[in-house]
Amino acid sequence: MTAELVPTIGLEVHMHLATRSKMFCGCRVAYDARPNSLVCPVCLGMPGVLPVMNKLAVELSVRMALALNCTIPDFAKWDRKHYYYPDLPKNYQISQYDQPLGINGYLDVETPAGTRRIGITRVHLEEDAGKLMHAEHGNYSIVDLNRTGTPLLEVVSEPDVRGAEEARLYAETLRQLAVYLGISYCNMQLGQMRCEPNVSLRIGAGPDGKPLYTPISELKNLNSFRSVERAVTFEIARHRQEYLADPGNYTLAKQGKSTRGWRDDEGISFLQRSKEEAHDYRYLPEPDLVPFVPERAWVEELRKNLPELPRARRERYIKMGLSEETADMLLAEAFVANFWDVFHETLEHHQGAGKWPIKRVLELANNWTLQDVRRALNEKTIDAPSLHAEFAKQLADLVVLVETGVINRNTGAEVFNKMIKAKLDLNPKSAAEIVKEENLAQTSDSSAIEAFVDQALAANAKAVEDYRGGKKASFGRLMGEAMKASGGKANPQLVKEILLKKLGG
Amino acid sequence: MALSKQEVLKVGTLSRIRLTEAEVEKFGTQLSAILGYVDKLRELDTRNVEPLAHALPIHNVLRPDEPRPSLTPEEALGGAPEAAGDFFRVPRVLDEGTSA
Ligand SMILES: [Zn+2]
C-alpha cells in the first residue's frame, strides 16, 4: 500500500449578490434593519404568492459565470430543495438542481507553486435563508427573516485544490473577481461570502485502477479566509491520522460524506451530520417559476462587456510603472481601475505621454481623490459603469485646467464640488462649462492683477507697515486680500510676484 | 405498487409528522394508490419526448431590481404562533445551522 495521501479539495462558495432587492420579491436587501422589517408574503412563504426573478441577480450571475470561463447552457430552471429548519419559512429553498446558469469553467489562481487552474463545476443561483439565534435565557430560539430570499450565488469547484493554502488562495481570488466585477460586496463579517471546503485524501488506486479516497468531510459556513486555511489544515491532518489508524475502514466507499462544523476559537472541527443522517432534499422542479432561457445575443453582449480581468490588468499596471501595492489598490474594484485608465489616458492625450510621468499622474489622481469620487458616486457603481468613464474624463479635463493655469487650485476644488453636485442632480457639466458659466477663469493679465494688489495695499496700510518693519508674516495677509479683491480668480503666482515688487522685497 | 411500512414512516419523518399505526396503514394505502396512478402513466412510451420543466410555455419572466415596501414587523409577526420582541419565537434548536 502506498503511503502517499494527496489532499483532494473542492470548494462551495456562497455570495450575496449586489442587488438592492431580494431574489424573488421587492423587499430591500440590508444588514442593519430592524428584525423582520424587510419581509413580505413572498419571502415569508405565505400560501398563494408568486415569486418573480430579479433581472439584475440573473445578469450578475451570468456575468460571474462568464468571468469564470463557464459555458452558459441554453436552458436553466429552478428547483425546490426541501428541508425543515426554522430559518426557512417555506420549508424549501428555491435553488437550481440539475440545470444551473453556468457549467464547466475554471479559475486561475496564483500560488507560490505557480499558476493553478481550478475547475469550476457549476455556478447557480438560489435564495438565502433567514437567521436563527438562540435566546440567552429561556428554552427557545428566535428568528429574523430579513435575510430570507437574498440572492445567493453558489460557485462549486472541482476537487482540484491540493492544500490548505491553495484553498485560501482560491477563495481570495474568487472574492477579488466578484468584488472587482461588482457581483458581490463579499463582506465576510456581514455573511456576504461563505466558504465550504470539501476535504478528502486520495489514498491510491483500488484493484480496478480507480482512485480511492478517505471519506469526504464538508466544512460548513467558514466566514474568513484564515479559518478556511486553518480548518482545511486541521481536516487534512485528521484524515491522515484516521486513515493511518484504520486504513481498511476509513474510506469514502465505506463511510461516505459527513458534515462538519468549525470552532474557530478552539481550532477544531466537529461532526454535525454523518452519512446516515444526511438530508434527503427531495428536489423537484419549482412550479411557481418559469425557466430561464438566455438569448445568445444577450450572453454575448455580457461577455463583450466584461472588463479586462484582474490578472491581466495587474500585469499591465506593473509594466506601466505602478507599484504592486498601487496596482492592487486600483484593482480593488473595476470602476476604480476604469477610472484610473480613463484619467491616465485623458492626461496623456492632452500633452503627450512625456509630459505626464506616471508618478505625477498618480499623485494628481490621488490629490483629486479617487476616494472622494468613489464615495460620491458609490450609489451608482453597479448599473452605470459608463458614468465613471465619462466622469473620469471630465475630472482629468479639470486637472488639465488647473495644471495649465486656466484656473487656480482653489477654484479647481470648487469646480470639483460643483461637478459632483451637477452629476448627482443628473445634470452633468464639464469643468470647462462650469468655469465658463460662472466666469471662474484665472486672471493672468498683469495690469488687472496690479490693480487688485494696489487695492489690497491701500486698504491695509497697517499690514504694509508691519511687513516693511520686518514682520514677514503680514505678506500672507496682503496676498489673501489681493486674491479676495480678484474674487479668487487671480493667478496666485503673478499676485505674489507683483506684490513682492511693490513692497520692494 | 405498494409502499412498505418503512417507506411510509420515512416520508413521515421527512415531513416532520409523527404517524400512528392506523395512520401508517391509511396513508400507506392512499400513497400507494397515487403511485399506482403514476405507474399507469409510465406505460406511455416517452422515449422521444423532452422532459417538461414547467407546465406553461413561457420563460424569462423577470422584474427590475427595484425595492418595494415590505410589511412592518408587527404585520409580519401578526400571524405567528409566538413572537419575542421583533423576532419569531420557535422551539429551541440545537443543531448549528443547516445549509442554504
Ligand atoms: Zn419579500
Q: What percent of chain A has pLDDT over 90?
A: 53
Q: Which of A142, A222, A263, A289 to mutate to test the interface with B (most CBs of B within 10 A)?
A: A142
Q: B6 — contact with chain A (CB < 8 Å)? A: no
Helix (H, G, I), strand (E, B) or coil at A464: helix
- Say if the Cβ atoms of A196 and B58 lie within 8 Å: no
> How remote is the C-alpha of A13 from its chain's centroid?
15
**Stretch A302-330: mean pLDDT, rounded?**
88
What is the pLDDT at residue A376?
A: 56
Interface of A with B in 200-239 (CB under 8 A): 220-221
Residue B59, C-alpha cell as written in the block: 420563460
Strands in A191-334 per DSSP E? 193-205, 211-213, 216-219, 257-263, 268-273, 284-285
Least Cα distance to A65 among A151, A153, A188, A167 occurs for: A153
What is the pLDDT at residue A12?
A: 98
**Stretch A317-336: mean pLDDT, rounded?**
82
Least Cα distance to A5 among A245, A183, A361, A180 occurs for: A245
Interface of B with A in 41-100 (CB under 8 A): 53-56, 58-73, 76-77, 82, 84-93, 95-100
- pTM, whole model, 2 decimals? 0.78
3-state secondary structure B41-77: HHCCCCCCCCCCCCCCCCCCCEECCCCCCCCCHHHHH
A321 CA distance to ligand 1 centroid (A)?
A: 49
Q: B22 — contact with chain A (CB < 8 Å)? A: no
CA gap B45, A358 in Å, rounded = 71
Least Cα distance to A57 among A25, A99, A90, A9 occurs for: A25
Domains of chain A as residue ranges with CATH: 6-299 (no CATH), 310-437 (no CATH), 446-503 (1.10.10.410)
Nearest chain B CA: its distance from A262 CA (Å): 10
A136 CA distance to ligand 1 centroid (A)?
A: 28
- Say if the Cβ atoms of A54 and B70 lie within 8 Å: no
Q: Is the pLDDT of residue A385 over 70?
A: no
| Residue A57 neighbours by CB under 8 Å, 6+ apart | A17, A19, A23, A125, A151, B65
pLDDT per residue as tens digits for the range A210-232? 899 999 999 998 989 999 999 99
The single-letter code of the amino acid at A421 is: K
What is the pLDDT at residue A351?
A: 65
CA gap A124, A145 in Å, rounded = 22
Q: pLDDT class for A370, splitting at 50, 70, 90?
A: low
- Say if the Cβ atoms of B98 and A287 lie within 8 Å: no
Q: B30 — contact with chain A (CB < 8 Å)? A: no
Instruction: List the single residue in B with minimal CA-CA distance to A89.
Output: B88
User: What is the rounded average pLDDT for all residues in chain A?
Assistant: 88
Helix (H, G, I), strand (E, B) or coil at A331: coil
Least CB–CB distance from B90: residue in A21, A39, A143 = A143
- Taken as a whole, chain B contains a residue count of 100
The single-letter code of the amino acid at B13 is: T
Q: A280 — contact with chain B (CB < 8 Å)? A: yes
Q: Which residue has the higher pLDDT, A262 or A379?
A: A262
A149 CA distance to ligand 1 centroid (A)?
A: 7
Partners of B51 on chain A (C-beta within 8 Å) are: none
Residue A483, C-alpha cell as written in the block: 486674491
Helix (H, G, I), strand (E, B) or coil at A231: helix
Q: pLDDT class for A334, splitting at 50, 70, 90?
A: confident
What is the pLDDT at residue A28?
A: 97
Least Cα distance to A133 among B71, B88, B74, B80 occurs for: B88
| Residue A398 neighbours by CB under 8 Å, 6+ apart | A368, A412, A415, A416, A419, A431
- Say if the Cβ atoms of B97 and A88 lie within 8 Å: no
Least Cα distance to A39 among A129, A148, A151 occurs for: A148
Least Cα distance to B85 among A450, A260, A138 occurs for: A138
A72 CA distance to ligand 1 centroid (A)?
A: 28
What is the pLDDT at residue A378?
A: 56
Nearest chain B CA: its distance from A345 CA (Å): 34
Q: Which residue has the higher pLDDT, A16 or A138?
A: A16
CA gap A60, A155 in Å, rounded = 13
Least CB–CB distance from B70: residue in A28, A82, A152 = A28
A381 CA distance to ligand 1 centroid (A)?
A: 24
Instruction: List the single residue in B with minimal CA-CA distance to A130.
Output: B100
Partners of B70 on chain A (C-beta within 8 Å) are: 26-28, 37-40
What is the pLDDT at residue B99?
A: 43
What is the pLDDT at residue A207?
A: 84
The CATH number given to B5-42 is 1.10.20
Q: Which residue has the higher pLDDT, A114 or B53?
A: A114
Instruction: List the single residue in B with minimal CA-CA distance to A219.
Output: B99
Strands in A377-457 per DSSP E? none
Q: Is the pLDDT of residue A384 over 50?
A: no
Q: Is the pLDDT of residue A408 over 60?
A: yes
Q: pLDDT class for A490, splitting at 50, 70, 90?
A: confident
Helices marked H in A83-163 — which ranges? none
What is the pLDDT at residue B97?
A: 47
DSSP category for residue A215: P
**Stretch B10-21: mean pLDDT, rounded?**
88
What is the pLDDT at residue A356?
A: 67
> How remote is the C-alpha of A394 from its chain's centroid?
24
